[in-house]
Amino acid sequence: MLDVTSWFVVQLEDRSSKPVRQFLLGTSDYSDRVLRWPTLKRTANNLQTVKVTVQLDNADGALNHFYSETYKIVQTGYLKAGFAHPDSGTEYATLYTGEAKEVKYKDEKCELRLRDLLHDLGERKVGQSSAPVVFSEQIPSDIGWTLCTCYGYLSSVQSTSNPDIDYADFQTWAAQFSADTVTIAAYWDGQRVVEALATLCEQTDSAVWIDGAGRLTFRKFIEPDSNDLTITRDHFTDLEIDVETLRLANKAFVEFNYSVSSDYWQNVVVMVDSTSINSFGIHDHLYRNENVWYCGSLHALNYAQRKTTLFGQPPRRVNVETDLYAVRPELGETIRLVDSFFGITSGGGWRLVEQQFNLDTGRVDLELDEATTMNGFYLDISTLDGDHVLL
């Protein structure tokens, strides 16, 4: 959840609030020049830089300095939303932090285009053909840290003051692997850091994204919390539910122990969900990767088990159109949804996998995915060989 005061939360829940927006470039406040506020879109399952375009008024030519002195483009931009407190001043929540990368002038408008930290990680490589980077049997979070700090040149400060990585979330992420003693091996010979991180997270069922403060955030899905936001028909303006049998996986193969020199996976495990097969027929899925792989059958089998547990039944995906009320949750967190028509109760949590915030209108669109919720932390909390369903 966004870190804001209880007064701020009350304003978010108010039906007639007066939100304020701020656009800073460096320390200069350009809010009064914004003609069109951007839409911020973050996706947990798709590691891509969040690009933002801010349209500014340049009728008086006051922004021509970006054109005449191009070095002035290179500044950090911040998009904030908040409320003006009658006594203590305006409280802002930073929703986006990114570097200005492009400036475009058209008519009497100036468009500033910003990109977040992932853009930089897309320009930096891990290893090369002649000197590949090899990790043998390590906890995934250690590999992630090395990728970010050694190859991505991000800050290696191991405290919450790390400006590039949300260290508190990173520690939580690492602790879950540590508790399960999950180890993997990896090999990269020139891939971009962002590709390497995407693969690592895909193979460990984690989410990674850039938070509002511009820090890289890792999250392995954890259980629903009693403090989750609850969205009812009083809050959403529209709701769509997709049920996809296309994503079914009831016979999951996981290949592991990849041999780089021979280019093949030396072992394979399979997990079968017979109940699902009886209902929907066989849906084979082969999970393997030549850059990140499990080293032992136990970990590979649990990964396969996780897949059949999550995708054994057609997972439901919900798109909810709502407003500022739902701006606080962050990706990977759970939201409780209530809709009497569809019989959805607040008893279960729905994982937030995509969040889109229109700063122009205050509309917040959420995509909630059941497949990442239902027993989604089976491996994270339970013992590796246990069969506890902890949802």
Partner 1 sequence: MSVTYQLGISSADAVTLYPDYDYFGGQKQIRSEHRSRSGKLRVYKWGDYDRFKFGLNWVPASDASLVNSWWDTNTKLLLFITSDTATEVHSCMILNDETPLGSYNEPYVDYYKGAITLEGY
- Contacts with partner 1 by CB under 8 A lie at 15-21, 59, 232-239, 322-325, 360-363
Q: At 242, list the tokens.
A: 């997709």
Which residues face 179 on adjacent strands? none
Nearest distance, CB of residue 59 and partner 1, angstroms: 8
Task: Name the residue nearer to partner 1 (CB basis): 5 or 237.
Answer: 237
For residues 366 and 322, is the Cβ–Cβ distance under 8 A? yes
The smaller minimum CB distance to partner 1, of residues 156 and 237, is found at 237
The stretches of 129-257 forming alpha helices (DSSP H) are 140-146, 167-180, 193-203
Tokens 């933002």: give the residue: 52
- Nearest approach in angstroms of CB 232 to partner 1 is 7
> For residue 274, what are the contacts with CB-CB under 8 A and spacing of at least 6?
none
How distant is the alpha carbon of residue 203 from its chain centre? 15
Closer CB to partner 1, 296 or 362, in the complex: 362
Residue closer to partner 1 by CB (options 21, 51) is 21
Nearest distance, CB of residue 14 and partner 1, angstroms: 8
Closest CA to 210 of 260, 177, 169: 169
CB of 31 to partner 1, least distance (A): 10
- Our CB check for partner 1 shows the closer of 235 and 283 to be 235
Q: Map residue 295 onto helix, strand or coil.
A: coil
CB closer to partner 1 out of 59 and 150? 59
Phi, psi of 218 (to 5 degrees): -110, 140
Q: Fill in the DSSP letter of residue 380.
A: H
Beta-carbon contacts of 365 under 8 Å, excluding residues fewer than 6 positions away, are 319, 320, 321, 322, 354, 355, 356, 357, 358
Least separation in angstroms between residue 318's CB and partner 1 is: 13
Please report how close the Cβ of residue 110 comes to partner 1 at its closest, in angstroms.
Answer: 18
Dihedral pair phi/psi, residue 185, rounded to 5°: -120, 160
CB of 325 to partner 1, least distance (A): 8
Q: Which is nearer to partner 1, 17 or 160 (CB)?
A: 17
* C-alpha to C-alpha distance for 130 and 189, rounded to whole angstroms: 8
**Which residue, chain included where needed, has tokens 């400060």?**
157
